[in-house]
Structure 1
């Protein structure tokens, strides 16, 4: 998905939910600028594009596609490897924009909650739409080995300022967290299609750390 397509999807969503053209344009310009920041080797426009494509693919199974789309657009708008509040700040950015739409407060808060949930990839409310967002975000874990290896290299580049021993320690913790769960993916569709490959990929990476 090219930038023009990303913009088109955004403008349709923003206009549909009551944002003025001026507000919508300013919103997408900021989103593209943020996802294009130097140092974003994985959490960039390609990652955003991949999630938008997954949303299109699974849209018939999603109840509130507009809310899910807003969560996708904003979920990594703030990203710094030295901070632990990226998801919270990204959620706040979304809420700041959504106040200029016609979405009711409860849906704005739902989107805020969706984005905040990507911090731990947990869904305590058992919201089926949030399950899809979290699975979309972890889609790369179930990729083919070559693509997965490229992903791990890109993530390492994002954490370039950390020495190897620190990075390996943190990465092991992340991998062990996911491998220790009964299921990595929350939706039946993703479990069937990607669960086994994701475990194989992470176990292989863990062995090599």
Structure 2
């Protein structure tokens, strides 16, 4: 059992779940699906590193961590229900045994990033999901290329328009990060990365 699997199994059992190794096997299989380049276990491990750094500020650590593990377990590029289906995946395996399952599911749903959740735990999940926006410039660019690779259905102009809408909406927020911890640690770098990306010329339609 590798370190990543061991961490999930321990959390799942600690949360009251059963069949931990089988649950992890399905989770790892889904995160390893062909066509995934950003939304993989690499993204989950990055989320866990950011969670570990913020751990002392998080009231309900196991709830937040379980949401991070599961928030992208179902990912169909361009689909509008990935988060809802990821929450349903968790409910199915939790089978009424996992503590605070519905609160975990609400935190997963919050990673749609359409509005600020009321619960602080869900705010931490959202911020950790977006913490890579504040990565060093080269890593930010690499993440952008990985995200682009997940949308082969869009040509370069259509993808650039799609990306621009998302990034402009993030920059228009009074705060990208909802918690004080991530606002202080990531906000300035994230805004600089987004501004640089938006300043790049758009590909021409049909080019």
2:13 alignment partner in structure 1:
15
1:122 to 97, 107, 115: 115
SS in 2 for 1:42: coil
2:80 alignment partner in structure 1:
84
Compute the displacement of 1:16 (Å): 1.4
Instruction: Note if 1:112 corresponds to 2:108.
Output: no
Q: 1:143 to 1:121 in 2, by over 3 A?
A: farther
Q: For residues 184 and 30 of structure 2, what CA distance do their matches in structure 1 show?
A: 34
1:142 to 118, 121, 134: 134
Q: 1:121 to 1:49 in 2, by over 3 A?
A: farther
1:162 alignment partner in structure 2:
154
Give the conservation status (yes or no) of the 8 Å contact 1:70–1:94.
no
Q: For residues 30 and 183 of structure 2, what CA distance do their matches in structure 1 show?
A: 31
Compute the displacement of 1:202 (Å): 0.6
Structure 2, unmatched stretches of 5+, are: 203-207
Deviations 1:14-65 (A, max 9, x none): 2212223xx1111000111011111111111110111112222222211111
| Corresponding residue pairs, total | 201
Q: For residues 48 and 39 of structure 1, what CA distance do their matches in structure 2 show?
A: 16
Compute the displacement of 1:166 (Å): 1.1
Compute the displacement of 1:100 (Å): 5.0
Q: For residues 11 and 162 of structure 2, what CA distance do their matches in structure 1 show?
A: 37
Q: For residues 149 and 18 of structure 1, what CA distance do their matches in structure 2 show?
A: 39
1:180 to 172, 180, 191: 172
Give the conservation status (yes or no) of the 8 Å contact 2:117–2:123.
no
Deviations 1:163-201 (A, max 9, x none): 112111111100110000000111112112211111111
* TM-score using structure 2 length: 0.92
SS in 2 for 1:138: helix
Compute the displacement of 1:124 (Å): 3.3
Give the conservation status (yes or no) of the 8 Å contact 1:185–1:195.
yes
* TM-score using structure 1 length: 0.91
Q: For residues 104 and 29 of structure 2, what CA distance do their matches in structure 1 show?
A: 21
2:185 alignment partner in structure 1:
193
Q: For residues 164 and 187 of structure 1, what CA distance do their matches in structure 2 show?
A: 34
